[in-house]
Structure 1
Amino acid sequence: MASAGIVNIRRDVDDKFYRYRMPLLLTKIEGKGNGIKTVVPNMADVARALSRPPTYPTKFFGCELGAQTSSDDKNERYIVNGAHDASRLRELLDVFIDKFVLCRSCKNPETDLVILKSGRNEDIVRDCKACGERTDVDMKHKLVTFILKNPPKNPKKSKKGGAKGEVNGNGGGVHATAPFVPGDEHGGGSGGDSDDELTKKIKAEAAELTTETKLAAQDWSADTSPEAVKARVKALESQVGGLSLAPAGGLGDDEGSDDDINSPYAQFGRWVEENKGETGVGAVQIYQKAQEFGVEKKHKTVLVLVQALFTEDVVQEINVYKALLAKMVTSEKHQKALLGGIERLVGLTHPELIPSVPKILMALYQIDVLEEEVVTQWGTHVSKKYVDKETSKKVRKASEPFLKWLEDADDDESE
């Protein structure tokens, strides 16, 4: 079932399995009289899903409505002067998506805006990663002037770099959150035709992890020396092999007998910890390794995977491995194990991440591996199943802004 508050980027597509999703645009009216204004509280999240800077759709609303707009990127506050209801702005967002996001050839939202410079002339095209076509935008629209004055920021470049004379961007940092799968520009097939769609997505994402991509260029670990790796593996063993040390006595089910350090789960966790970030090791290889250990369908595997795979950059990493998570999180029990892994990750391994719990939950929610009912129930009931009671309280306390957002989103939809 689709999570509440998430819609297809193309709202004319009714397919609930349509892979390009975005948060439902929300609005809030503030002020009175001449000072009345419409705030879009989740504009930044919507824009990330579209791979566009949030200032673009905000300014587009102003152009279409003949209203002044203001943008505060630092505080993620985007305002359109005047009172405008959510349905009207959602209709305008559909127009923005059609004009400045969707490829005109294949109607796929997997595009970057590219500014082509030729002498004094500048043109904006949509560069589609799905079909390879470049289609122009309406250069007569008022937003074009704003885009040319405020070009998209350059994404992290590959070793090959961009073509000369182009300004290419996606609003900065979007590669981590936009629900896009790259094309085959780096070579390599996607496997047999018998694979299901999620497996194909895993393989497609794994194909991107070459030495010539932005993902491979990232600093996956602060210290990759043999001593540091051994230290992290030892810490992981204490987590994976010592799950039963949690006050509630481990998982409390028929898998609880596999908590020793030689269990398939512990071996899988050590392999992920030692090999993540290596060239050629990506989502598909991790899933295949889980299959080798015979634990790819077990919910406890999700608990181990979260602790072994994610680091302090967990919000970005969630989106890098979104297809892998979608493949492995298949039930409510898996979702609870996922949340348990997050508890241990932020409560025990990276306590500095506790303030980031709302962002982590939002990232998981937006890729549809967490359902509203599950995360709400988890957030309102302290548990000693995976961590001690005090740590559990801290993590859930930190999740309150996200739970409040869920509640407000439901209220907005019901209204």
Structure 2
Amino acid sequence: MASGFVNIRRDVDDKFYRYRMPILLTKIEGKGNGIKTVLPNMSDVARALSRPPSYTTKFFGCELGAQTSVDEKNERYIVNGAHDANRLRELLDGFIDKFVLCKSCKNPETELIILKVGRQEDIIRDCKACGERTGVDMRHKLTTFILKNPPIKARKGKKAQNGDAAAGVGGGGGGGDLTPENGAEDAADDGADSDDELTRKIKAEAAELNTDTALAKEDWSADTSPEAVKARIKALEGTMAATVLGGDDEGSDDEDSPYAQFGNWIMEAPEPDDPKALNIAIYKKAEELGIEKKHKTVLILVTIFSEDVLEEIPNFAPLFKKMVTSEKHQKALLGGIERLVGLAYPDLLPQIPKILMALYQDDILDEDVVKHWATHVSKKYTDKDTSKKVRKASEPFLKWLDEADDEDSDED
């Protein structure tokens, strides 16, 4: 019902910011003393914040000194009186700051938990991004309502039911669409589909792929008009900024961090005639900053690619082989490819099988890592829908891997 989406943190101007929510809508009903403001898409907004819609509605009432009405069964949320939409959106920003954003890293990927020490009860924001637990201001009137109506926690390992989702069950913010990968990265994957379900969905959707995405097809097409190229370059610059200042590592959201310096250096580095010289220069810069062995460095390194990525991979393959030294590095590389193809250059989506093939044949990516990545939709690097699209487009390459395995088994 919402007419558009905005960043959960509206002070973040990055259009590739992966935490999004619907724009809050309002509708004035009634007259005189019976006038009221209806919030028709409050359930959608609250679901994006992973908070019960009753919390946000009651927050408005507390801030405006107005009575509120909450009907979760029919998803009808009302604030008595006539209230301007922009004013309510400003108040929603206040709710996000006080009850959603991690106080430490300002990431919305948090859930509320209630801690009891004796008779004392405190409401804590448990951040799935940085691991910090930060308290809320217990002097706010909403905290009394939260303590009386604690958030319902979804059962571990099962997808939240529709009612739970509307009540804000599960992990952090970001529209419930941010889904990091395995290991430590799985911490922010609460509420995501199970691996088996995702595998079935991806394979079912892949069957509907246009034949242009077949691995053997050679007539890959893209809009090469000056306007389209300019737009993609602008998009890539935004992705670079999101990558460098994404906050994935400690201190990485600091513009003076070595990651930010490395990203800026790559963006401004002159392109020599000899690719080998550029490879050496890039590695020396990473070494100078002390991040040549860090997996996030690989994520940033992907921004060196343009829409001509297939032609560029052979030139930079030696550099990636030197810097991609573990499974974690490979996951960062795949995350960077997701951003490159899914966000910066969407026209490259049909080429994802060829990109993966090139990296695989250069021994930069391992089969097991690619297969795990392809069947585990992740919101760590892009929004969930984009993540699914990229993985769906990779199905021809996965099929090729399976067929190659079958042939090896037959030969044995």
- TM-score, with length taken from structure 2: 0.47
Q: Which has the higher contact order (CA 8 A, sep 6+)?
A: 2
Structure index of larger Rg: 2
